[in-house]
Chain A
């Protein structure tokens, strides 16, 4: 009898714990939905807990990748040519390193040129991790609040818009890519100035939402930021229209675009640390805030 009640109480305790844990998950979920941000302190702590691992792993993988490419074709060489081939290997490795350096230098030069072409304040950051799921699109950067990075700031590359900062820790931050299903950026078709909302599809594509049916847009038209929101300055490249669907009825038309940025090859980005107020009314000056 006593054993039976002990078993029952243990069973109920476990059940209570399971219910409490699931309830905790639901509370967290409702907190996130309500604030659209999450539990800031816990988020920052976890970002800082995971990011050093990502940073270390990325750096190791990049080094191993370099070595792997250098030695891949040199593994099964004949013995009599060993010395010569070691020399080739060394030269190839040096060549590979030089190429990597040149490529990195070229990327950084482009980044600098791009930064200099704008008067706004920017911080350069390195991509240290990518989204771990198949539903959402994000990047982890090695710059955080201590570098002046804040939630909502625009993230760019020389090719165009990358996304915006979603979460920040003291030394790291997370970017929501423009291709993410939850992302929305104010854009306009450069040629016709037709305004629309650029939404992500979850794939490596975006589409234009609320693009009026009366607007004349063509495949190949460039889409740029409209500057209507405080995060993105006007005129930055977002992508190119690849598909248009116009129904015989309705107010809006559908247009799909491919982003200018290849997110799979992105290694460095720029974070705009200034926010811009939308274009002023006639007669009012542009206000720039830090």
Chain B
């Protein structure tokens, strides 16, 4: 329970950073998606049910604050979580470069999924949507991928500390 509450709190903090501090950067296009990295890390380390519910919750928050009227992130973030969870035993993610590639591939998967859903839900000419893919989405995906090894390392440390603390606590109780 403690772990879920801390994960929730950390997710909200990352969301706050993403929608406040990172928007102050002079390079608006280069704004890493911290929540996505966090959801992918949860996919690799969290239990299926609690992680799934939390990724759905974070996706809902993204939808709410981005002004997106369709609820796309609620769906895509849950899918990303389940995919990462499903393939976690088949992925080699020990090296930072592999972590970056993993995040880059997943963020592009989500981008294409969003583009596809937008095209279905609100038919607009590709001319409006496609430029965004390269002018906005590509810089964001690159910056997210580059930052992911550092965040994975920090999340891993935090998760390790939390689990060792709970083990120590249970030992005391026992």
Contact = CB atoms under 8 A, between A and B. Distances in A.
Interface stretch (A28-36, A84-92, A188-196, A225-233): A28-36
B50 to A, nearest CB: 10
B67 A43 contact: no
A32 B71 contact: yes
A236 interface: no
B101 interface: no
Interface in B1-38: 12-13, 15-21, 23-24, 28-29, 31, 33, 35
A134 B140 contact: yes
Contact of B19 (A31, A33, A54, A177): A54
B93 interface: no
B136 interface: yes
Contacts of B56: 21, 24-25
A203 interface: yes
B111 to A, nearest CB: 8
Contacts of B79: 22
A65 B35 CA distance: 24
Contact of A61 (B21, B59, B68): B21
B66 A138 contact: yes
A236 B109 CA distance: 41
Contacts of B59: 25
A53 B13 contact: yes
19 contacts: A21-B52, A21-B56, A29-B74, A32-B70, A33-B121, A53-B15, A57-B17, A61-B20, A132-B18, A132-B62, A134-B33, A134-B132, A174-B65, A177-B67, A180-B67, A181-B118, A181-B129, A182-B122, A264-B23
Contact of A28 (B19, B29, B31, B74): B74
**Interface SS of chain B: helix, strand, loop or mixed?**
helix
Contacts of B48: 14, 17-18
B132 A50 contact: no
Contacts, number: 163
A38 B69 contact: yes
B64 A174 contact: yes
A264 B25 CA distance: 10
A136 interface: yes
B86 to A, nearest CB: 9
Contacts of B89: none
Interface in B104-118: 114, 118
Interface residues of A, number: 54
Contacts of B18: 132
A181 B20 contact: no
B122 A57 contact: no
Contacts of B67: 131, 136-138, 166-167, 174-177, 180, 182
Contact of B16 (A47, A53, A174): A53
B128 interface: yes
Interface string B116-151: 001001101000110110011100100000000000
A129 interface: yes
A161 to B, nearest CB: 15
B116 to A, nearest CB: 13
B70 A29 contact: yes
B66 to A, nearest CB: 4
A50 B65 contact: yes
Nearest to A130: B23
A26 interface: yes
Nearest to B9: A53
Interface string A3-40: 00000000000100110011011101101110011100
Contacts of B82: 18, 22
Interface in A175-219: 175-177, 180-182, 201-203
A200 B33 CA distance: 23
